[in-house]
Amino acid sequence: MYRKILVGVDSSKYAEAALETGISFAKSFGSELVIVSVYAIPKYPSGRVRPIGTEEQIDPDVQKALLDMLKGYETKAKKEGVNNVETLLIESVEAVGPALVKKAEALGCDAILLGSRGLTGIKRTLLGSVADYVTEYAHCDTIIVRR
């Protein structure tokens, strides 16, 4: 049913629940599993993506931590029997939702899995929702894991 499944992760318990579901789907369908973390590059008050004169967009310690997290998730998926696993760290000037949707489409994914914190009301309005964005704009099936 699904040839390629993208799972968005951020080291939260919600993302780990989505990863567990993604692993289960990948094993059931013999799918490729793409585990993605998005680092949204902060904008500065001037509206610039980075201060003038700086080359680096992501702190090396943050990058290492994210890559280590992804490696751990890849190892977990392989130990649980998923043969085809890819991990990606995306540095994006966009918000997380648009970055995930664009990457899933570029990779030809059949499904996107995400965890959800279940925010409601004013918190959801102020903070936004990656899950809302992805379910509205994704070209493929979107599965929101609530555990």
Chain segment 18-56, per-residue pLDDT in tens? 999 999 999 999 999 999 999 988 776 665 655 555 555
pLDDT at 137: 95
What region does 118 belong to: left with phi over 0, alpha with psi -120 to 50, or beta?
left
- From the list 98, 100, 99, 91, the residue with the least C-alpha distance to 18 is 100
Using one digit for the tens of pLDDT, what is the confidence trace for 68-85?
999 999 999 999 999 999
pLDDT at 131: 87
Q: Does 3.40.50.620 match the CATH number of domain 4-145?
A: yes
Q: Is 102 exposed, middle or buried (0-12, 13-18, 19+ CB in 10 A)?
A: middle
pTM: 0.86
Using one digit for the tens of pLDDT, what is the confidence trace for 101-146?
999 999 999 999 999 876 555 544 444 588 889 999 999 999 999 8
pLDDT at 104: 98
